[in-house]
Amino acid sequence: MASTTEAPPRKNRVPRRPGDRIFAGVSTGSGVLILVALAGVAVFLVTEAWPALTAPAEDIPGGQGLVFYIWPLLFGTLISAVLALVIAVPLAVAIALFITYYAPRSIAKALGYIIDLLAAVPSIIFGLWGMNVLAPVTVDPASWASEYLGWIPFFAGPPSSTGRTMLVAIIVLAVMVLPIITAVVREAFMQTPQLHEEAALAIGATRWEMIRMAALPFGRSSIIGASMLGLGRALGETMAVAMVLSASAGGITFNLISSDNPPTIAANIALQFPEATGVGIHTLIASGLVLFAITLAVNMIARAVINRRKDFDGAN
Amino acid sequence: MSTSLTTPQQDPDLNTPLGGVSLTAGQLPRGAAPTTLVAAGLAGLLLWFLADWDIVPCALLAAAAYVVIIYTWSRAVEGPRKATDRFVTAAVSGAFLLALLPLVSVIFTVVSRGVVRFDSEFFTYSMVGVTSEGGGIYHAMMGTLIITGLATLISVPIGMLTAIYLVEYGRGKLAKAITFFVDVMTGIPSIVAGLFAYALFVMMFGPGVRMGMAGAVALSVLMIPTVVRSTEEMLKLVPNELREASYALAVPKWRTILKVVLPTALAGIATGVTLAIARVIGETAPLLVTAGLTDGDNFDPFDGRMTTLSVFSYYEYQSPGLFAEASFDRAWGAALVLIIIVMVLNLVARAISKLFAPKTR
């Protein structure tokens, strides 16, 4: 190569060939492209949402302005996601513990694979299942709950006769985020230093005490980070909620079992978008922007928490 | 003779308690837990058959009975620490079984309701002119293949090159920023990705645009981070010795990456890409707002609406029309096709990583 022979005699420099330069440029470029795309998501959403932000309140669907349109949706999104997490996180930790510490070694791998498969099931199938199988099943327990547990605001009733309630949406969401949380937590448990576990067992700890002393402290930040990831998923889940929930706009209520439910942002977009026109489209995109901002914040916190654990790995 | 020095051989008597305390004192008899479990299960079955209760309260009652009995028994004999341990074991196993229930129920429902429409018409006809029974998903299957294929064509080069940048070139702030935002991108709600693609295409083609290409772009937004992550993991596994050996032979860096690093990691990358395809092929929400729905065949991603399996299934269920049963059957049929595709892709991914894994020695 001519370039190598003419290069000044600096021994420590590796010669830069044109092929190298092109390849490095292309791969750096695609990395930058991803950053640009993410910024583009924000920019395009803002430009398409702008007409709704500046439109007079009467033009927004509902006729009371953007804030009053989005607030019930936001409320529905938050309450469904948070309660789904309340169900899913303890179960996910239990499943991760079961697969890592309780299941026989020979089937533990297969069990992990089954949980991964659950993560791969498309959300539309959970929607169909929630509507057809889960919703009818909850009708009787819901009426029982409203009769005997009606003093809890969640079960105030009157119970829905179709079962397509917030409660079912929450359960479906919990089932859907379960595998994601389980996968991250299981990863952390598998990385628990074996010396810690053996040391705990050697001083006579029972299996549960070993888990409490060695595994749980080690996995704590992973559990928090995984929960945040699951929260991000549950906030953005669209089709399952859109199909399961028979939503009525404007109902801000903690009542989980009545037929009067606040919809979620994502489900509302999916339901309204195909028929929306004009300012309606811009309003929906504005609500999407709110959802984007919230999930972005949640995911950034989640990643920061998970990454922080990586930094402290050496100390263990 | 040294033998006379040793004391006479005596077998240790394991049966006589040492100091009056048996070695197994303070423990539940062997098989106590399974016996209790079986007893509780039988009691639950009896309630189900004889007292004619629902199966769910029976199962719950049996599980609760097992937990209470084993806990109190163990607490009386073994003490509170072991009792807590047994309680947690029961609770954790129970939670696992509880989580398996929805999976079993989902698969059972989809298969049993989906096979109704597994006939040849279903796979070879589109929905043109179908108002009652019959009709098929040929157009939806082709739409799914085209849109997912285009999304793969967009995401795989970008995703792989980004991963190569991160592993082979990336230093400093830019690499850190890309890693972080790729992680963040995995969490973008699919509907937001759809809105992004819609907004992008509105700027290029005017309002109300629906086309397959927009769907492919939306899916790429969801797919790229998965491809980057899995490729990055695989490239990191390639031993540094291979790179150094290549450099020592004066092979340029880009040729080293292309001829040494990538072939070594190829099986893992293929697995990751297959899993990424499996993840996006079932997406509904982004395609609902970008690709829309049409009854006929449309194989041109730049021209008008394009049906995919998931969107088809959604609309057949959401707006069934006059012949609701036929629509529902089509919806479940499409769902079953979708779930089969996803499962097959998952199995293919496992097979690739098993069969084509590089020989490390």
| High-pLDDT (> 90) share of chain B, % | 25
Check: CB of residue A101 under 8 Å from CB of residue A188. no
Q: What are phi and psi of A261, to 5 degrees?
A: -120, 145
User: String of b and e for B306-339 (b: at least 16 CB within 10 Å)?
Assistant: bbbbbbbbbbbbbeeeeeeebbbbbbbbbbbbbb
Using the predicted structure, report yes or no on whether residue B286 has a pLDDT greater than 60.
Answer: yes
Q: Which residue has the tokens 């005596």?
A: B10
Provide the chain A residues 31-50 that lie in CB contact (below 8 A) with chain B. Answer: 31-35, 37-38, 40-41, 44-45, 47-48
pLDDT score at B119: 84
- So where are chain B's domains? 28-116, 123-355
pLDDT score at A219: 86
| High-pLDDT (> 70) share of chain A, % | 90
Tokens of B335: 């769902």
CA distances B337 to A75, B73, B144, B199, Å, are 36, 51, 11, 31
Band of residue B9 on the pLDDT scale cut at 50, 70, 90: low
**Whether A263 contacts chain B with CB within 8 A:** no
pLDDT score at A174: 93
CA angle A117, A118, A121 (to 5 degrees): 90
pLDDT score at A2: 45
**Whether A23 contacts chain B with CB within 8 A:** yes
Section B228-243 average pLDDT? 90
* Average pLDDT over chain A, rounded to an integer: 82
pLDDT score at B152: 95
DSSP-based three-state secondary structure for B358: coil
Using the predicted structure, report yes or no on whether residue A101 has a pLDDT greater than 70.
Answer: yes
Section A91-100 average pLDDT? 92
Separation CA B220–CA B154 (nearest Å):
6
Where do runs of H (alpha helix) occur along chain A?
A: 2-6, 18-54, 66-97, 105-120, 123-129, 135-148, 166-190, 194-202, 207-210, 216-236, 239-244, 265-272, 279-312
Separation CA B178–CA B170 (nearest Å):
9
Comparing B47 with B89, the larger pLDDT belongs to B89
pLDDT score at B157: 94
Band of residue A14 on the pLDDT scale cut at 50, 70, 90: low
Band of residue B54 on the pLDDT scale cut at 50, 70, 90: confident
Separation CA B198–CA B244 (nearest Å):
47
> Residue A284's closest chain B neighbor by CA?
B195
**Whether A187 contacts chain B with CB within 8 A:** no
Section B283-301 average pLDDT? 86
| B76: closest CA of chain A, how far (Å) | 17
pLDDT score at B18: 58
Separation CA A128–CA A314 (nearest Å):
46
In order of their start, the domains of chain A are: 55-315 (1.10.3720.10)
Q: Which residue has the tokens 């914040």?
A: A297
pLDDT score at B37: 84
Using the predicted structure, report yes or no on whether residue A228 has a pLDDT greater than 80.
Answer: yes
Using the predicted structure, report yes or no on whether residue A7 has a pLDDT greater than 70.
Answer: no
Whether residues A34 and B181 touch (CB distance < 8 A) is answered with yes
For residue A152, the number of C-alpha atoms closer than 13 Å in the C-beta half-sphere is 11
The one-character DSSP state at A264 is P
pLDDT score at B206: 81
Check: CB of residue B265 under 8 Å from CB of residue B332. no
Section A237-265 average pLDDT? 77
B78-92 pLDDT, tens per residue?
888 888 988 998 899
Who among B177, B278, B317 is closest to A128 (CB)? Answer: B317
Section B126-140 average pLDDT? 81
Which helix (H) or strand (E) element contains residue B266?
Answer: helix B262-281
Residues belonging to chain A: 316
> Residue B347's closest chain A neighbor by CA?
A117
pTM (2 d.p.): 0.84
Chain B partners of A272 at a C-beta cutoff of 8 Å?
Answer: none
Q: What is the largest CA-CA distance in chain A?
A: 90
| A91: closest CA of chain B, how far (Å) | 6
Using the predicted structure, report yes or no on whether residue B220 has a pLDDT greater than 90.
Answer: yes
Comparing A16 with A226, the larger pLDDT belongs to A226
CATH number of B123-355: 1.10.3720.10
DSSP-based three-state secondary structure for A247: strand
Section A181-196 average pLDDT? 88
